[in-house]
Structure 1
Amino acid sequence: MINGSISAPVKGDWRDELLRYFGVDPTASWTTNVWVWTAIAFLFAALAYLSTAQRSDKERYPHPLPPRSTLGLFETLEHCNSIHFHEWSLDLARNQGKIVEYNFWPLIRARVIAVNDPKVARKILENPESSKPREFYDFFDGLLGGTGFISEEGDRYKHPRKSVSIGISHSNMDDMLTKMHAVMDQWITDNLGKNQGDVSNIDITVEMEKATIQSIGKIAFGYDFSTEEIERTLHNIFKIADEFGRACEKNPVRKSPIGVFLWAAKREASLCVQDIRRLVQNVLEAHQKKSVDEQKKVIVLNELNTPGSFALVELAKNKDVQTRLRQELRSASADPTDKKRLVDNSLLKRVIRETMRLWPVAAGGGARVIPQDMVVTSSDGLGGERLMTIPKGTIAMMNSYPIMRDKDTFDRPDEWLPNRWECPSQDMNTAFFPFMVGRRSCPGQLLAMSESEVFLARLVMDYEWSLVKETQPEYNITLMIMGTILQAMKVG
């Protein structure tokens, strides 16, 4: 400002103005301008690549590809590794579409999509050529110290699978159920009241986890875990799941060998892995005369406890169903060990089935690599349907939680309604696969269903269950209700 007036801006040479238009400061050092031009070049290259890729996709595929999620890479990673992943996946399916592409690039080079359409998901899972993506099973390989039964493919998977199938044949399964009853008898004696009117408060998930660990030892290996071993194993499992199952996925650097030196939690989890391996080695050495086939029975027991935990919580919240179930069970058989008569109860089967639908243990479902281009019809998230192409090589994630709460398949999908299974539609049966389907489905699902029914029947026949403290389910490899307290009162 000179003599009270505002001076006019001085215009530079037209070439300087042109340089400024493209982000180059004529007065800046040449090194600064090199970085600016490099960034601009990368931006144009990226735009050109994306434009070419989009044109190529339109020319190659007869129908549009699955729409992209509106969430970016880091937000997607945050949700996928959250304890509330199951709720987020349901929200994604209902608001953005049942088939949506995740934004995982450049972390994962392959196209990754969420497939929460029941019919499309079943079609992918039942395709014998669909395989498991290696990228998604680092957790299990890290835990096992290499590939194992869960993540193997080809003959290295088929042979153990066959061994497990033999291990849970009808003759062997009867023996396993008998041993499980012994574990349950001991658990009831240790945790629940013996006389009419006796009341016990228990953390249902923790106690069922303890019972499952003891069952694995006794049934698969003839080994009785001490109380200290069970407590230590539970502590190790939760630490490992929290670090390798969630924290490492949020931060890829934690997966690398240097992660042990940078994060104390990673070091602690690694020590927990070593502790579990030592315990397993001790159990195997004590059981070295047993056959490999029999040892592999341990695999089928992983899902016995959680369905029962959720079922007891739902029955505690729905006393009318609990009372009716108790009356039907008692009228069918006065002997709680009469497995056949107990599990023949239709209401019991509906309770278990509805619990597994609403609260699937493996809420994250499974992932498969699409072996060839697929043309499918699915909801577009806007109340309509559209044809779309799922390209070969795409990684499809089938999430059980939103699939079995599909609004187009189930009436009032977020409510626990056992009677919906009195006369289920074909679409309902298609959407129900808590153990997955196809060649990679859980080999022990029949045993898990049978044991869940017997377990629940025995506890409901003699005890009235009430809810003392309810916590929200959390997803950490499996869906669990940590901290929920139930009260069991012995009834006459």
Structure 2
Amino acid sequence: MEETNWYTRALIIFPLLLLFFKLFASKQERYKNLPPSPPGLPILGHLHLLKDPLHQTLQAFSDNYGPIIFLRFGPRKVLVVTSPSAVEECFTKNDIVFANRPRSPAGKHLSYDYTTIAAASYGDLWRNLRRITTLEIFSNSRLERTSGIRGEEVKFWVNQLMKNCGDGGYSKVNLKNKFFGLSFNVITMMIMGKRFYGEGVEDVEEAKLFQNLMREHFELANTSNPADIFPVLRWVDFFGMEKKFVANAENMDKFLQDLVDKRRRISASTKTKTLIDNLLSLQETEPEFYTNNIINGIIMILLIAGTETSSATMEWAMSLLLNHPDAMTKVQAEINAHVEQDRLINEQDLPKLNYLSNVINEALRLYSPVPLLLPHEASKDCTVGKYDVPRGTMLMVNALAIHRDPKLWENPTMFMPERFEVDSAEDGYRLIPFGSGRRGCPGANLAKKMVGLALGALIQSFEWKRVDENEVNMAESSGLTMPKLKPLEAICKPRPSMSTQCLI
């Protein structure tokens, strides 16, 4: 029976794909000056040439065909840019044109029907969401008010690490798990005043459920779905992806709504106000905009964007420092010079720690947590460089290729934090780990504070070394984000000058 269903579906789909391709090919004839492109195949386009990690495949194409290339992922038109000048043109002259996001089943179901700030199309909804995140979450005044939360979470985290070290000797630590737990707890403490990882969790079963839902969400968001390329496949849902998206979205929404409702019941009696409290106050004054879906979508996107990328950056930066102990020593000396010995580093210290900032910028350059920026989509025909770009084309910016371009950086594959002592990190679209233009990441400032605080606290509080004589493996995994292929483990012991101070 299953075999019959498979053949029946194939007989339905194949003619539809042929029709789709013919319609697509007739539209292509209108554009005579498309960017250069590798040879492709009918229907598939260039899909057969794609390999993981995708950013490396796209960089190889750009090396052969230039910094502006045109690809076809099935019927979907794709523009790939790998030069600062092309990026600047996309995000200045064509900023509004490329302000939309491509639509996909994952975007529909995992982003509240495209109503989160990451997935929403450019328009009134997106502008309101951008205003909320800019003023209510990521403004300097808001970040200053929540700096105490981040400081307390880092202190709690360091204390747990010290307790794990026992008698003060060296202990092995899985830093990947530690970094993710810290990043997640910081965001959830800011959002709802609760921890969900490690010690200090109020409800263990609730925490496990949330962890599982988030893990499933990350996995689904990182899974290739043929229906993203061939929308006709959604009608038959060959691989069951649509069902998985719907199930995760429903379970996640129920869980988040329960958290919001619990917070609503105690909000009036608590002195410490969280993001949920602020959003519920706004819901009372503007209920037509601040719907439950909008509030839950804001919470979810903060969790997604604020945990995996920040923790990956911490892990890459610490890996680099372990492989370059001279740089680790230099960061430690800088902290010793600017932070009193009787306290843990805080966010107010970060502007004085220039070398630590350079280390973070160099980690973001060499191992961008998002090597391919979130895709954009052209809302109308435009030009980039000397080439025509058709309406509906998906824009992919290969940020990592720019960050490692030997034409832009001296010794581009070497870890050299000193390069930023004379070189502005954001100058000329050469370093764009958080994107650019009106759809650039609004949480970049928070991410840098969090990464700086976590790394600074670890280096201030512990002596670190690799688990053996071999260098830390720097192989890259694949996905929307770029985590390490092999999770980072290291050995640490408390520094005598800090072991008592941090426990207070």
Q: What TM-score do the two structures reach when normalised by structure 2?
A: 0.74
The residue number in structure 2 matching 1:20 is: none
| Pairing 1:5-404 to 2, within 5 Å after superposition | 57-58=31-32, 64-70=33-39, 72=41, 74=44, 76-77=46-47, 84-106=53-75, 108=76, 111-126=77-92, 127-149=94-116, 150-153=118-121, 154-167=123-136, 168-193=138-163, 197-225=168-196, 226=201, 227-249=204-226, 256=234, 258-259=236-237, 263=240, 271-288=247-264, 289=267, 290-292=277-279, 296=298, 299=302, 301-302=306-307, 303-334=309-340, 335-370=343-378, 374-377=382-385, 387-404=386-403
| Cα RMSD, aligned residues only | 3.5
* Deviation at residue 240 of structure 1 after TM alignment: 3.3
Measured against aligned partners, the alpha-carbon deviations of 1:261-283 in whole angstroms (never above 9, x if no partner) come to x64x8756654444333321221
- Counterpart CA distance in 2 for 1:222 and 1:100 is 47
- Counterpart CA distance in 2 for 1:274 and 1:186 is 33
**The 10-residue stretch of structure 1 (132-141 or 311-320) with the greater mean CA deviation from structure 2:** 132-141
The residue number in structure 1 matching 2:5 is: none
* 1:201–1:122 CA distance, 2 compared to 1 (3 A): farther
The residue number in structure 2 matching 1:431 is: 430
* Deviation at residue 248 of structure 1 after TM alignment: 1.8
Measured against aligned partners, the alpha-carbon deviations of 1:387-425 in whole angstroms (never above 9, x if no partner) come to 444345433211222122222211222222211111127
| Pairing 1:414-453 to 2, within 5 Å after superposition | 414-424=413-423, 429-453=428-452
The residue number in structure 2 matching 1:457 is: 456
- Counterpart CA distance in 1 for 2:419 and 2:400 is 18
**The 10-residue stretch of structure 1 (387-396 or 402-411) with the greater mean CA deviation from structure 2:** 387-396
Measured against aligned partners, the alpha-carbon deviations of 1:240-268 in whole angstroms (never above 9, x if no partner) come to 333443232478589737538x64x8756
Gaps of 5+ in 1: 1-38, 59-63, 378-386
- Counterpart CA distance in 1 for 2:181 and 2:45 is 36
Measured against aligned partners, the alpha-carbon deviations of 1:89-137 in whole angstroms (never above 9, x if no partner) come to 332222332211112243x2xx311111222112212344224555345
Give the AA of the match of 1:435: F
The residue number in structure 2 matching 1:490 is: 494
Residue 487 of structure 1 aligns to a residue whose secondary structure is strand
* 1:311–1:426 CA distance, 2 compared to 1 (3 A): closer
Measured against aligned partners, the alpha-carbon deviations of 1:297-334 in whole angstroms (never above 9, x if no partner) come to 77273443222121111111111100111011111112
- Counterpart CA distance in 2 for 1:138 and 1:160 is 21
Residue 435 of structure 1 aligns to a residue whose secondary structure is coil
Gaps of 5+ in 2: 1-14, 268-276, 282-294, 497-504
Measured against aligned partners, the alpha-carbon deviations of 1:64-97 in whole angstroms (never above 9, x if no partner) come to 42111245565844676x6522322332222332
Measured against aligned partners, the alpha-carbon deviations of 1:172-223 in whole angstroms (never above 9, x if no partner) come to 2122221012222222222345678532323322322222222222111123
- Counterpart CA distance in 1 for 2:353 and 2:159 is 25
Aligned residues: 429
Kept in 2, the 8 Å contact 1:365–1:399? The answer is yes
Kept in 1, the 8 Å contact 2:171–2:493? The answer is yes
* 1:209–1:346 CA distance, 2 compared to 1 (3 A): same
Residue 375 of structure 2 aligns to a residue whose secondary structure is strand
Q: What TM-score do the two structures reach when normalised by structure 1?
A: 0.76
Give the AA of the match of 2:366: L
The residue number in structure 2 matching 1:19 is: none
- Counterpart CA distance in 2 for 1:266 and 1:359 is 32
